Amino acid sequence: DSLVFEILNEPHGNITPQKWNLFAADALRKIREDSPGRVVLIGTPEYGGLGGLQALQIPDDENIILTVHYYNPFQFTHQGASWVGTEADEWLGTEWKDSEDERNVMRQEFAPLIAVSNQHHIPVHIGEFGSYNKADFNSRLKWTTFLARWFEQQGWSWAYWEWSAGFGI
């Protein structure tokens, strides 16, 4: 009863939003043949972020949870991350001060997710969020604490992206 399926993590590239919607629906139908009551996580196209939400066609199924990943503001969460590109080093020193303006930007970014969740009566799981360890620890702590508590206030479950390496806390 505690096992949850996720069809695919961060669909992108050749898996266009249109292909993702077809694939997710087909995969869910196949899962339902053997696991009719199993909870299944459905992520958004375009790497699983909020930006892919408008392209997602949510299957009509009572046992699905919508999952998204969140790494904003990106210049804060990915400062110094070599895989992002050389511009990431230019972001070093970016702080997250936990101001009301910063919090409001995040709340606004999640407004479409709240609307979709309410419209489709679908629970939400934040499948990834985190900040790279090149950011100062106090900013990372404030950012993570705000988001975790805010997600909980929304009634959403969450998973921090990895605990002991580059994003580790």
Q: Which residues contact 31 (CB under 8 A, 6 or more apart)?
A: 5, 7, 38, 40
Q: Measured between alpha carbons, how far is 117 from 15 in angstroms, rounded to an integer?
A: 24
Strands (E), the chain: 5-6, 40-43, 64-70, 124-129, 157-158
Let me know if 128 is a catalytic residue: yes
Q: What is the CA angle 59-8-74, rounded to 5?
A: 105
Let me know if 10 is a catalytic residue: yes
Active-site position among 62, 95, 128, 152: 128
DSSP annotation of 58 reads -
Active-site position among 6, 10, 95, 102: 10
For the annotated catalytic residues, the residue numbers are: 10, 128
